[in-house]
Amino acid sequence: MKTIEYILILLIITGGNTFMRYASADEITKLKLDNGLTLIYKKIEPLPIVNVQLFLTLGTANDPAGKLGLTCMMQTLMVKGTKTMTEKQLSTEIESMGGSIGASALEDYCEVSLNITKQYFDEAFKLFADVVQNPAFPEDELKKEKVNMIAGIKSRQDQIFSVTYDCLRSAVYHGHPYTYLTTGTEEGVNNITRGDLQSWHGKHYGTQNMIMVVTGNIGLGEIKSAVKNYLGTMPPVEPLKYEFPAVEPVAKEIAEKKKFEQAYLMYGYLVPSVSDNDFPKIKVLNAYLGSGMSSLLFQELREKAGLGYEVSSFYPSKKDKSTFIIYIGLDKSTMDTAKTKIEALISDLKTKPLDETRLRDAKKYIKGISVLDHQTGSKQAWYLGWWEIMGKGYRYDKKYLSDIEQVTSADVKAMIDKYLTDKFVQVQITPEK
């Protein structure tokens, strides 16, 4: 498996003329349209496919107290019918053109997407604009989705990773909006009304809060025309201004017993947002420590010590402060050994030189994943919009891998000293029996 992983990544990085064709850095245009909409455009040939990604500055972190889950519910119901079309009519119409429309919400943004062939772009964009501007939020669908969302919230208690992560997140953020799931809470979801959804949509869905990215084999003039025809009369809204509450690192150990057969151990360190200059350096640290089978955690804890059935680290990209997570799933009998080894590894990282070969592999791993993830026009559109909505700017999509390549072992050591301090949250979950 390790050999296959390396071969795949190296093929992507070094052998990829075929792969790289669609990920090449073609000219990208950013402009403000007459209706106030920010448009980012990139032409991609030769396939007759058009991809539209609409990002909204609103995220689930903006949910009002007592209505946690409101933004997620709004996005879920966006595609459940408009004021003129039922969900069935909408899905039948877009599927007959070979296209798709989707909507989703995360902590820092919402998105609505359209994928369609060039032949049907105008017709499909009309449907897309109807979804964006005129969601019906049907009462019967609201009732169904309340049941689904609450079931999803409750089902997390059946997954040991989710139980551990939710506990850690709550301790790290202690009241910050990132404390909560994107789906909210059972109480919050139950409190949502159709009127809440209509008001929330009307308050935030305006061009002042939107970034639209279009990639594919289509001219800029066609896009401008479609926006003018179908989104040209959107009423203005107050631009969303949101300031995150301050959150500082804390030192805390949490031990809980749950109805699982296995045990779980997780460490969480407070680290900077995606807009911070340290972002690419921490990404390399994460890959070095816990991404892939050649990473330090995997090799030392699983391969050599045989301690866990899964071991890794991750660093979510957030608009506000994020967390650097180290975790291992294991048998309860090895919990103390795992804690000792993980903390010894962190200590060694601070006092001993890094493995330069592993560091190079970590950067190759990041590059390989990134290149592979840029193969389709829809993902290229998504990344351009994502970097823009997160505050780095769409141009950073091209610069990101260059920044990764420039990270040195000294940079990674500096990140370890700066962020992997004694102020961390540790959560251990063990079986009740």
Strand partners, 40: 30, 213
> From CA 245, how far away is CA 347, in angstroms rounded?
32
pLDDT tens, position by position, for the chain (433 residues)?
444 344 344 444 443 333 333 334 469 999 999 999 999 999 999 999 999 999 999 999 999 999 999 999 999 999 999 999 999 999 999 999 999 999 999 999 999 999 999 999 999 999 999 999 999 999 999 999 999 999 999 999 999 999 999 999 999 999 899 999 999 999 999 999 999 999 999 999 999 999 999 999 999 999 999 999 999 999 999 999 888 999 999 999 999 999 999 999 999 999 999 999 999 999 999 999 998 888 999 999 998 999 999 999 999 999 999 999 999 999 999 999 999 999 999 999 999 999 999 999 999 999 999 999 999 999 999 999 999 999 999 999 999 999 999 999 999 999 999 999 999 999 999 999 8
Domain 23-231, architecture per CATH = 2-Layer Sandwich (3.30)
Token pair recorded at residue 283: 């990404």
> Would 23-231 and 252-431 be classified into the same CATH topology?
yes
Q: What is the separation of C-alpha 303 from the centre of its chain, rounded to a whole number of angstroms? A: 30
How many other CB atoms are found less than 10 A from the CB of residue 88?
9
**Which amino acid, 191?**
N
- The full set of domain ranges for the chain reads 23-231, 252-431
Token pair recorded at residue 227: 């926006």
Domain range 252-431, its CATH number among 3.30.70.980, 3.30.830.10, 3.40.50.80, 3.40.309.10: 3.30.830.10
> From CA 107, how far away is CA 62, in angstroms rounded?
8
Q: Which residue has the tokens 């001993």?
A: 352
Q: pTM, whole model, 2 decimals?
A: 0.92
